[in-house]
Each structure stands twice: as structure tokens, then as C-alpha cells.
Amino acid sequence: MLEIRSLNKTYGQSPTPALRDFDLTVERGEFVSLIGPSGCGKTTALRIVTGLLEPSGGQVVLDGKPSLDPSRDKAIVFQLFNLFPWRTALHNAAYGLEVQGVGKKERLERAREYLELVGLTDRAHHYPSQLSGGQSQRVGLARALAIEPKLILMDEPFGALDALTREHLQEMLQGIVAEKNLTVLFVTHSVDEAIYLSDRIVVMGVPGRVIGEFHVDLPKPRSALDWRSTPQYTEIRTEVWKLLQTELAHAEALTAA
């Protein structure tokens, strides 16, 4: 579904590009996680794919068509909730549909449907100030899902949450992805989160490029599995972490220079 071809991005006069010849493909229905040290271009790549940032070179192709601009085929969920404080959860969830010109009755019905999917039916008329962090992020997810995009991009969506809430939302997300057969490109700093959620983990280095890929063959749903006790988990975690440690040392050397 998604092809990223030789993507490059340099900010200003920086001698080190944020992305350098970054290539990636994501199949329909696949959950792919990007992981790597800070500054390796994970968020930059997501913003370029979404159309929020212009690349210095390269192509983004979605379903065989060039796709460097924002479109209804792509939706992003940020780490910060980015909800409008003056809108209720329902009207926040309906915002993307409103921008697309969907009529009020239809957009509110669809927003209610997706709030129910993320377990927030009873919070539909609450404002962001009345919601917890986890509930706010679920509204953000409902807003992205409501436009029914071909591709969901998620930039550390659970990074600001406490551990228990994070694990609860990981489980919820895995269920929704399976139910809706979603295609997801997900950024995380957590190796365990990547293993739990992903079909494939892509490790990035500095400057932004792919330095390793790992297929996660653990059965789903993983919430029903003692997945941390499996040999596959131990092997993948060890190999990913080893690669990350090497890249962290490399990144620190570049910074020192």
C-alpha cells in the first residue's frame, strides 16, 4: 500500500540530514513500527508521509499514486492529544469529517460509532479538561479512525501515558487494528511496545535510514499470550536492542564531533 522511495530531508544548513535515502514499503493490513535513537528521523518520516512536511527529495506513493500532500487517505495520531478544549469529545472526534465537508448528522453519527469503538460512549459530551490522558488519546484515535483512511500514522501515541494506561491502550489498539484490518505505521521508543503491536519492526539509524528489519511472528491477539516468555520475544528483543545500542554509540560520536 505504501512505498517510501529514497526519501531525503535536511533542515536548514545542518550538515547531517534528518533522512538520507530512506526506503520503506508497508503492505495492506500490516502494522509496521519504526524505532531508533532520538534524531534518527522517525517523526520527520511520518510528517512527510502525512503531508505536513515537505521532503528535500524522494517520493511517497500510496496505492500506486504519488502522495506527498495531505489527503483523506491518511490520518495521523500525535503523542500530544491536540484536542480543541472548547469542543466535546464527540465534536473533537468529528473534526476531520467536518473539514472534509461531511454533513453534520452523518459526521456526528460516525464520530459516535468510533467513540464507541474506543470505549468512550459515556464520555461523548465531556470536554478535554474532564478527560484523563488515556481518554484524550482515545478521542484522538477516534478522530483519526472516523475519516476511515487507508493508512493510519501514529507518532508515539502512548508515550506521555503512565505504564498501566499505556498497556491498556496497546491492547485496545491491537483489537481495533484486527477488527478493522488497518494499515499502520507506528513510531515508538519502546522495544516491548514494538514487539507487542507489530508485524514488522524497522530500526532506523542516524542519519535517518533503515539499518535493520525484524518480522514478529508471534500469534495474535498477543493479549491472550504470555508473549514475553516466548523464545521469539527474547530473540527479537535481544537483536533489536543490540542494534540500537550500536547505533546510539554511533549517534553520540556524531554529536561529539
Q: What is the pLDDT of residues 5-45, one digit of tens each?
A: 999 999 887 778 899 999 999 999 999 999 998 888 999 99
Four-point Cα dihedral 198, 176, 222, 184, nearest 10: 0
Distances in whole angstroms, Cα of residue 133 to Cα of each of 79, 80, 127: 11, 9, 12
Cell representation of residue 97: 469529517
Q: Which three cell numbers stand for residue 239?
A: 537483536
Domains defined for the chain, CATH in brackets: 2-73+152-256 (3.40.50.300), 75-148 (no CATH)
pLDDT surpasses 80 at 253:
no
pLDDT at 174 (0 to 100): 92
Mean confidence (pLDDT) of the chain? 91
59 pLDDT higher than 90: yes
Taking residues 227-238, what's their average pLDDT? Answer: 92
Q: At what angle do helices 104-117 and 133-146 cross, to 10 degrees?
A: 130
At 221, the amino acid letter reads P
Nearest Cα residue to 93 out of 117, 72, 119, 114: 114
Give the residue with greater pLDDT, 225 vs 41: 41
Torsion of CA 5, 32, 35, 174, to 10 degrees: 160
Determine the pLDDT at residue 255. Answer: 64
Number of H helices, E strands in the chain: 8, 10
Amino acid at 87: R
pLDDT of residue 183: 96
Which pLDDT tens digit goes with each residue over 163-208?
888 899 999 999 999 999 999 999 999 999 999 999 999 999 988 9
> Per the structure block, which three cell numbers stand in for 145?
479512525
